[in-house]
Amino acid sequence: MTESRIAAAFERARLEGRAAFIPYLTAGDPSAAATVALARELDRAGADILELGVPFSDPIADGPVLQRAAARALAAGTTLTQIWRIAEAIRAETSLALVLFSYINPLLRCGLGRTAREARSAGLDGVLVTDLPPEEGREVQPVFRAAGLDTVFLVSPTSPVDRMASAAELSTGFLYVISRPGTTGPRESLPADLPATVARARRAARSVRHRSGRKRPLPIAVGFGISTPETARAAARLADGVVVGSALVAAREASRSVETVGRLARRLARACRREGDQESV
């Protein structure tokens, strides 16, 4: 089976001595063309994987920045059909691996099977459903896998060992570790218990690997609250991937400038390097 773009992105980052840089954008914020332009800029800035968010009217896991982004995208009339066109354009113009980031309701409205097929046809490589726990994911994950999409599940500092193992078992792209309970949003520091949370996630992933016979360890990515080069650097020392969303969306919201987002993204990408930390970011 051909290696997925997501697996290739993590492997490339590993060989280069860094964590994969994984930015997030809300699709359609403030327009489809703007989303594609931002994706091009993030690709040039050193991003490896892009999480492309589906705007939703009740984004319970999102902080104020991403809530406003979803509201702008919905006001602009963004639909799943338009998101497929956005993904096609990003796929044609960048080398980014693409993960669809969504709540379950928009996907159910379209139909899971149809969503999976259209997402794959549009050039997406994986899917993360933020409000889908592993207990309910066992019926949903095979639908995405049958379409050739990697799956990503979430764990948090409060996840017990058995839930982490279940999430790791269902994940084929990476296991997403939420750095802290609560919603998304910029933070000045990472929680003190994050190293222990990541260590528990790695143990869960290793146990699943031994049982399943997977050839490679499941990558671990950390997100929620990473907004500065300092917090990105700290996360990169713990995990295989670093997810940044609200800080980039806020930069675009404040400046309305693709270049401003690109400058921040370059600093974050440099901070993901594990070697040469002495370089100024």
**Cα-based distances in Å from 227 to 37, 92, 162, 188:** 21, 28, 30, 7
158: which DSSP letter?
Answer: T
Note if 51 is an active site residue.
yes
Please give the structure tokens belonging to residue 250.
């806020």
Helix pair angle (32-45, 80-93), 10° resolution:
30
Q: Please state, in angstroms and rounded to a whole number, the distance separating the CA atoms of residues 21 and 64.
A: 23
**Considering 29, 43, 48, 62, which one is annotated as catalytic?**
62
Beta bridge partners of 106: none
Instruction: Report which of 56, 21, 52 is spatially closest to residue 39, judged by C-alpha positions.
Output: 52
**Considering 29, 41, 48, 51, which one is annotated as catalytic?**
51
Cα atoms found within 13 Å of the Cα of residue 152, Cβ hemisphere only? 29
State the catalytic residues: 51, 62
